[in-house]
Amino acid sequence: MTWQIFEDAAGGYEGWYTTRPGQRADLAERALLAWLLERFRDARTAVEIGCGTGHFIPILAEPGLNVMGLDRAPAMLADARLRLTSTAFVLADAQSLPFRDRSIDLAVFVTTLEFLENPVPALREAVRVSRQGIVAMVLNRWSVGGFSRRWGPQSHGALLGQTRDYSLRALRRDVKSAAECRLRGVHWASTLFPDGLWRRVVPLPLGDVIGLAALLESRAG
């Protein structure tokens, strides 16, 4: 899957968050992201890989993080720079990050990995540049939304119809493969359940979005 689909979608990307489904997803995902960041209270710097229009950068910055955004789609970054004038943005590929080894506390993916043809190289790069850990939020294959993206109404969408949704098992496998001996622990939860429970962040792998925090060994081995 190529980054061009996001280049084409940049103009209407932020507008989706003003729709009812977009508002619901936004609130649930922000709650999950805040829960994941709690695992890294000592972190001071972060890079969001595949930041798009920078929609989640303000929530990343709330705990006091100095956040940089990185994306491959120039149109997405152009929108992000207009909206977030004090944030640094970098045009680069997730599989070749322009940062030194262990130069950033956290590497963050918010619904990015499932759009990559091979996410493991991107995760390995994230492990390489990270001191403390990885935060990853992915669309869940085994959820109501996952079935819709494969066979239902969302399967025809320009973006959601192109995803390669994750299961919790697959996400843990890929993170473990990328982190190897640096992996110290994993915390996960999911959110965006059907109406009535949709904003809950709970340790059940059935919400439409799964979040995982991978704690890394910070010392050089």
Contact call for residues 192 and 25 (beta carbons, < 8 A): yes
Backbone angles phi, psi at 219, to 5 degrees: -80, 145
* Residue numbers of the domain that contains 74: 4-216
CATH number of the domain bearing residue 165: 3.40.50.150
Specify if 221 maps to a domain: no
184 located within any domain: yes
The residue to which tokens 């869940």 are assigned: 140
Domain count of the fold of the chain = 1
- Is residue 105 a part of any domain in this protein? yes
Residue showing tokens 């910070």: 218
DSSP state of 111: S
Q: Is residue 84 part of a domain?
A: yes
Span 89-140, pLDDT tens digits: 999 999 999 999 999 999 999 999 999 989 999 999 999 999 999 999 999 9
Report residue 182 CA to chain centroid gap: 20
pLDDT tens per residue across span 72-81? 999 999 999 9
Residue with tokens 């989706």: 16
Helix (H, G, I), strand (E, B) or coil at 88: strand
Residue 122 forms part of a structural domain: yes
Q: Read off the pTM.
A: 0.93
